[in-house]
Amino acid sequence: MKEGQHDQHIKKYGMVIDLDKCTGCGACMVACMQENNIPFQKDETDKMLSITWLRVFKLDNGKPYPDTDICYLPRPCMHCSGIGEHGHSPCVSVCPATATDYSMETGIVSQIYTRCFGCRYCMAACPYHVRHFNWWDPVWPSGMERSLNPNVSVRMRGVVEKCNFCFQRYQIAKEKAFTEGRTEIEEHEYQPACVEACPANAITFGDLLNPKHKVYKLKQDPRAFRLLEKLHTNPKVYYLSSREWVREAGDNYIENEKVDVEPKKH
Amino acid sequence: MFPFSFEWTWDMSHYVFHGGLWYALSIIGLGMTYCIGKSAYDTITGKGGHHEDH
Amino acid sequence: MDSELIPEGVQRCSLGKFLLWIGVVSVVLLWGVYGMILCWAKGLNQTNMNNAFGFALWIWADLAVIALGGGAFFTGFLRYIVGKKELKNIINYAVLIGFICYSSALLILAIDIGQPLRGWFIFWHANVHSMLTEVAFCLSCYFGVLTIEYLPLILENRQIDKIPFFHNLSHNMHEVMAVFAATGAFLSFFHQGSLGGVAGVLYGRPFGFREGVLIWPWTFFLFTWSAAACGPCFTILITKITEKVVGKKLVKDNVVELLAKISGWMLLTYITAKIIDTLYWAYVTAPKMGFTLDQFYTNNPGSAYGYWILIMEVIVGGVIPALILVTRKGRQTPLLLWIAVILACVGVSLNRWVMVLQVLAVPVLTFENWFTYFPSWQEIATTILPVAYGTILISLSYRYLPIFPQESELNPPPEELLSEAETVQKEAIEQDMASQDLTPAESAG
């Protein structure tokens, strides 16, 4: 939907990830790969060539034992709104073939695989490294193709792909609502695979604009922060942490700069 | 590239970008058409020129 | 054997020697073609690019050859729009070099994209807000202009020129060349600038991002400026290399000096603007994003991106050649001129390198490290491919087309190519005349 076509049904889907709860188990990554038919190679040793829509990072506070502390940080696509909430995401604005789009209806940054011709400008633009290139054609071990999700197309060699907040689930939920005579979907009807798979309930998903959704309140938590806020990418993924060093790890600060990572009061 | 592709919107960005593009393409196209046309005419009428300054 | 194709009044080596040279260069060309076929057949897994380095050697090569090929548009601008008539003696070669650079850039782009058969999507589904779209359109159009500028030269081949239509076409194209040159300058301004904008608009990448005016970051203007400054240096450099290879002077010194002088002043003003831009970026733009200059240039593996690269680019590849070229003595001293044009080309190439590679190498997330990359042989081969292709096209053009208008004047043919018998006879007559103390006229009478 083009800018300027806002209506009362406008949504801004986003995520709040509680890092105090995340155990780094990786269930979200596995669920994501399974749900979205993410291909893999025989040799996955070079992680720079792997496709991981959702990647769990292991952060540490850089201090020696016994003060050492670690934190696991799951990183999906941030679905940046960009400067001025105009959908001017770092990646969308640069794509020369309009193969990635910012939906003003949902706030989701999509990727049109059949439109992408693989210039990789969007990958260069994304500071979060959420975009991955298909360096190879996907090959599924014999029999494994039966486990593919029929609601998600597999991608061909030479195109870019990334997390889309399991958009196919949004479409299914919308279709279900439509058949039941509803125009709106409930919060629980559209939840990405990673959210459902998290055993610690660390990931919460919903409409950031809807006061009835849990994320609406959670994003205002004093522990909330977003990654690289200073770049004005305006991400829709929020993180919660009670640890100051974790909040500080969310952005770059120059020496002597007043670090604004104190828990916010709302 | 053309108004019938669905990405097309009638906004200032498209006016400026495609205005410049089609302006340049027109000059190149018309220039070459003129050269080929005049050369064909010159050849038929036997008026060929000769070049010194290039 | 091919003497009928060679321009009148100039000397060329034997066909055998020429074919041997072309054969040697073709081996390199074929190596590149093999790498290219591998990339097309097997995909970009043949490269050492990865998810952090989506842009790498090829994009640098593209940016660099387009900057170096900028000599064509700027020399054309000076010759046809500003009216520097002396430059007519080097414009042909500038056009040829530009044609090679731009065709190479298009070829590399065709290899670089993941789905080459969808390359036309960039035109069909154009996103007018993307700098790359502007690059694609302007680059393709300008390549068309360069082809138009190169075409009359081909038509001036001795045999082709005999055909009346081609003779007239060549003449008529020369008549309106100023219009094409002006269009070329217009297109070049935008695509050179947009290439600068490619990194400059990346507000998620603090190393590349620059503030600017309206939709154009400062890099937009700096790239156009640097291409106009260094492109002519590359034209001079290739001219000088060609003169060394063929062992002849091909362009008069006053022509080279004029181009070198203009280039020098362009370079001096460019590098001044570049220094101001760097300081503003280092002290205002980057700190707002939470970065210091030190973060960009220190603690990287093997100091591959240390401060040395900034000094090499700005001082060694910018200030020094600019100072040499703006002084009369510097321009007129052959060694200094060589040094200046080489340094200018190195400087602008380094600028393109950092604006592609370093932008991606710098970690932005605090929990990531510097990213490293070294190209695969397929990438190197396909990057050297244009050099081999360019060498062959220059060799063919030099041999068969009147590229250098001043060549015959600078290299007058020996008085007469006399056979040995004639020489002996002539000497005998002269000796006879000397013994009789007669002038040749009297002797003949």
Beta-strand pair A237-240/A70-75: unpaired
Task: Assess whether pLDDT exceeds 70 at residue B30.
Answer: yes
Q: Tell me the two tokens of residue A188.
A: 């629980």
pLDDT at C118: 95
Q: What is the C-alpha to C-alpha distance for residues C357 and C351, in angstroms, rounded to an integer?
A: 10
Q: Which residue has the higher pLDDT, B9 or C90?
A: C90
pLDDT at C421: 52
Number of residues that this document lists for chain C: 445
> Subunits touching B (CB < 8 Å, at least 3 pairs)?
C
Residue-wise burial string across C223-237, b where 16 or more C-beta atoms lie within 10 A, e elsewhere? bbbbbbbbbbbbbbb
pLDDT digits (tens, 9 = 90+) for C194-210: 999 999 999 999 999 99
One digit per residue, the tens of pLDDT, for chain A of length 266 reads 444 443 457 899 999 999 999 999 999 999 999 999 999 888 899 999 999 999 999 999 999 999 999 999 999 999 999 987 788 999 999 999 999 999 999 999 999 999 999 999 999 999 999 999 999 999 999 999 999 999 999 999 999 999 999 999 999 999 999 999 998 999 999 999 999 999 999 999 999 999 999 999 999 999 999 999 999 999 999 999 999 999 999 999 988 776 666 666 55
Q: What string of DSSP letters covers C79-136? A: IIII--GGGHHHHHHHHHHHHHHHHHHHHHHHHHSS-GGGTTHHHHT--TT-HHHHHH
Chain A residues lying within 8 Å of C368, measured CB to CB: 129
Q: Tell me the two tokens of residue A228.
A: 């690289």
Chain A residues lying within 8 Å of C206, measured CB to CB: 231, 252
pLDDT digits (tens, 9 = 90+) for C357-373: 999 999 999 999 999 99
Domain boundaries, chain A: 13-248
User: With an 8 Å Cβ cutoff, is A3 touching chain C?
Assistant: no
Q: Tell me the two tokens of residue C61.
A: 């090569």
Q: Is A87 left (phi over 0), alpha (psi -120 to 50) or beta?
A: left
Beta-strand pair A132-133/A109-111: unpaired
Sole residue written with tokens 């090829």: C58
Question: Quick one: which of A193, A154, B21, B37 has its CA closest to C139?
Answer: B21
Residue C221 CA to its chain's centroid (Å): 19
User: With an 8 Å Cβ cutoff, is C222 touching chain A?
Assistant: no
Q: Inter-chain contact A124–C130, Cβ cutoff 8 Å?
A: no
Q: Which residue has the higher pLDDT, C153 or B11?
A: C153
Task: Assess whether pLDDT exceeds 70 at residue C381.
Answer: yes
Determine the 3-state secondary structure of C151 from DSSP.
helix
Tell me the count of B-C CB pairs closer than 8 A. Answer: 83
The fold of the A13-248 domain, in CATH, is: Alpha-Beta Plaits (3.30.70)
What's the pLDDT band for B2 if we cut at 50, 70, 90? confident
Please state the ipTM of this predicted complex: 0.91
| Average pLDDT of the residues in C73-93 | 93
Q: Inter-chain contact A230–C136, Cβ cutoff 8 Å?
A: no
The residues, any chain, with a CB within 8 Å of residue A256's CB and separated by 6 or more, are none
Number of residues that this document lists for chain B: 54
What's the pLDDT band for C430 if we cut at 50, 70, 90? low
Q: Inter-chain contact B54–C405, Cβ cutoff 8 Å?
A: yes
The helix (H) or strand (E) run that includes residue C216 is: strand C216-217
Beta-strand pair C212-213/C216-217: antiparallel
Burial of residue B40 (number of CB atoms within 10 Å: 0-12, 13-18, 19+): middle
Degrees to nearest 5, angle at CA A43 with A39 and A48:
75
Residue B39 CA to its chain's centroid (Å): 17
Q: What is residue C7's DSSP assignment?
A: P
Q: How far is A163 from chain C (nearest CA, A)?
A: 15
Determine the 3-state secondary structure of C300 from DSSP.
coil
Q: What is the C-alpha to C-alpha distance for residues A257 and C205, in angstroms, rounded to an integer?
A: 20
| Average pLDDT of the residues in C219-244 | 96
Question: Quick one: which of C11, C96, C82 has its CA closest to C413?
Answer: C11
pLDDT at A263: 67
Q: Inter-chain contact C127–A97, Cβ cutoff 8 Å?
A: yes
pLDDT at A3: 43
Of C286-290, C300-304, C326-330, C414-418, give the lowest mean pLDDT range: C414-418
Q: Inter-chain contact C130–A94, Cβ cutoff 8 Å?
A: yes
The residues, any chain, with a CB within 8 Å of residue A6's CB and separated by 6 or more, are A104
pLDDT at C420: 54
Beta partners for residue A75, in sequence order: A55
Three-state secondary structure string covering chain A: CCCCCCCCCCCCEEEEEECCCCCCCCHHHHHHHHHCCCCCCCCCCCHHHCCCCCEEEEEECCCCCCCCCEEEEEECCCCCCEHHHCCECCCCCCCCCCCEEECCCCCCEEECCCCCCCCCHHHHHCCCCCCEECCCCCCCCCCHHHHCCCCCCCCCCCCEECCCCCHHHHHHHHHHHHHCCCCCCCHHHCCCHHHHHCCCCCEEEEECCCCCCHHHHHCCCCCEECCCHHHCCCCCEEEECCCHHHHHCCCCCCCCCCCCCCCCCC
pLDDT at C423: 58
Burial of residue C259 (number of CB atoms within 10 Å: 0-12, 13-18, 19+): buried
Q: What is the C-alpha to C-alpha distance for residues C71 and C233, in angstroms, rounded to an integer?
A: 7
Q: Inter-chain contact A159–C360, Cβ cutoff 8 Å?
A: no
* Mean pLDDT, rounded, of chain C: 92
User: Which chain A residues in 166-195 lie under 8 Å from chain C, judged by CB atoms?
Assistant: none
Q: Tell me the two tokens of residue C52.
A: 């952090």
Task: Assess whether pLDDT exceeds 60 at residue C416.
Answer: no
Q: Are A144 and A39 in contact (CB under 8 A)?
A: no
pLDDT digits (tens, 9 = 90+) for C158-190: 999 999 999 999 999 999 999 999 999 999 999
Question: Quick one: which of C208, C202, C152 has its CA closest to C181?
Answer: C152
Task: Assess whether pLDDT exceeds 70 at residue B53.
Answer: no
Three-state secondary structure string covering C382-422: HHHHHHHHHHHHHHHHHHHCCCCCCHHHHCCCCCCCCCHHH
CB atoms within 10 A of CB B3: 9
Question: Quick one: which of A18, A3, A4 has its CA closest to A237?
Answer: A18
User: Which chain C residues in 79-138 lie under 8 Å from chain A, judged by CB atoms?
Assistant: 112-116, 118-119, 121-122, 124-127, 129-133, 136
Q: Tell me the two tokens of residue A151.
A: 């609601």
> Subunits touching C (CB < 8 Å, at least 3 pairs)?
A, B
Q: Indicate the pTM of the whole model.
A: 0.91
> Does the C47-371+387-403 domain belong in CATH 1.20.1630.10?
yes
